[in-house]
Amino acid sequence: MQKFGFSIEKKLGGGTLGRAGVIHTPHGDIATPAFIVVGTKATVKALTPEQVKDLGAQAVLANTYHLYLQPGDELVRDAGGLGKFMHWDGPTFTDSGGFQVFSLGAAFGKGVSKVATMATPDTRSDLENKDLRSDLVSTLDTDDARSEHARPAKVDEDGVTFKSHIDGSSHRLTPERSLQIQHSIGADILFAFDECTSPLDPHAKQKASLDRTHRWAKRSLDEHRKLSSSGTRSDLVQREQALFGVIQGGKFRDLREDSARTIGGMDFDGFGIGGSFTKEDIGTAVAWVNAILPEEKPRHLLGIGEPVDLFLGVENGVDTFDCVAPTRMGRNGGLYTKDGRVAITNAKFVNDHAPVEKDCRCYTCKNFTRAYLAHLFRADEMLAATLASIHNLYFIVRLVRCIRESIIAENFSQFKDGFLKRYYG
């Protein structure tokens, strides 16, 4: 079984931190930069694993918090691990549950996401569609967050106490417990347990949270080593698992750089860069971090996936991304095109018999029209979510693949400028 590793194939140059590389995992390689498709509960919503693979996805990311609550991490372990459970034979990630702590704690009921979204040409047009508006302020990874059982989480030095959004039962999550759950789930790449703060939090609160995240990182790493060498885990779950440390610090440069030095100095296999900054700061905040982190290890930008963010992230040294936006937006009738996002439920598409995008090679565009998708959404047919999600994921996955190809071909700047000019008008 192949061990975890990372190799750099081509550097972007021009004073940037970008690179094209390959992440090696026991379940296959990931050519980077890459977009990692989110399958929160061991499923990419509305899609089969075959459909996910056919649209070009290399890996999927599942959520520790949700799989722990339902169906339970031990059940996933006994099924042979995440990949076998969901019939996905490629690389897998699990996040730590830290963002759910934020969503149920600091952000509960406030409509605050981990990234403070400013109005852009991309988002302004969608704000006119009430069905897409909630996508911009959502704080949890799934629609289940709106359950009547959801209650604020309580964070202390040891961990977090929270109530299940499913049945209101009480639970406790610590760095050690998060790693135990992730080891049971059996993904190839795991994340250390962290505390995600609001982008609106002041410096002093960010600093206190960051110090706790650093302490939790050490505890996560210790527990990961213990579990990896204990020999007590089920043979059904593969043992070669990598652990990424998580960088936090909000929008403050001194905190971001402190976190990069602290987490970068620990023996993690790679790094996740947490949110809690404004969209306008993504490029700079990511650059502050990646200028310090060890170059030979991969970096993942957590929960970011808008086109401009992908370019900014890659340019500043990010190797992989994940985000629920493509599928969530698709389920609500929002579709990516090279000319920007469109709301397929708008009246102008009712009699439009062209594909969503004429030069798109996704299954949806090759076989169906805008009029058909508009009909499905207006009729509340389940197929609407499937076809829209296939198109959106294909669009984003292919965009990041093209970014990778532009780095290798040494025409990244031209590709970036041309795409963004057309997309954002």
Q: What is the pLDDT of residue 248?
A: 94
pLDDT < 70 stretches in the chain: 101-151, 231-239, 276
Binding residues for substrate: 95-99, 194, 248, 275
254 flagged as catalytic: no
- Which amino acid, 320? T
First to last CA, the chain: 47
Q: Active-site residue among 73, 95, 188, 269?
A: 95
Q: Active-site residue among 269, 281, 319, 322?
A: 322
Question: Is the entire prediction scored with pTM above 0.95?
Answer: no
CA distance 385 to 333: 8
What's the CATH number of domain 5-346+374-420, 3.40.50.360, 3.40.190.10, 3.20.20.105, 3.30.300.20? 3.20.20.105
Q: What is the pLDDT of residue 149?
A: 58
CA distance 265 to 259: 10
Contacts of residue 340, Cβ cutoff 8 Å, sequence gap at least 6: 121, 122, 125, 423, 424, 425
Q: Is 97 exposed, middle or buried (0-12, 13-18, 19+ CB in 10 A)?
A: buried
**228 neighbors 246 (Cβ within 8 angstroms):** no
Q: What is the pLDDT of residue 92?
A: 98
322 flagged as catalytic: yes
To the nearest 5 percent, what fractions of the chain are helix, strand and coil? 45, 15, 40
Binding residues for Zn(2+): 360, 362, 365, 391
Binding residues: 95-99, 194, 248, 275, 360, 362, 365, 391
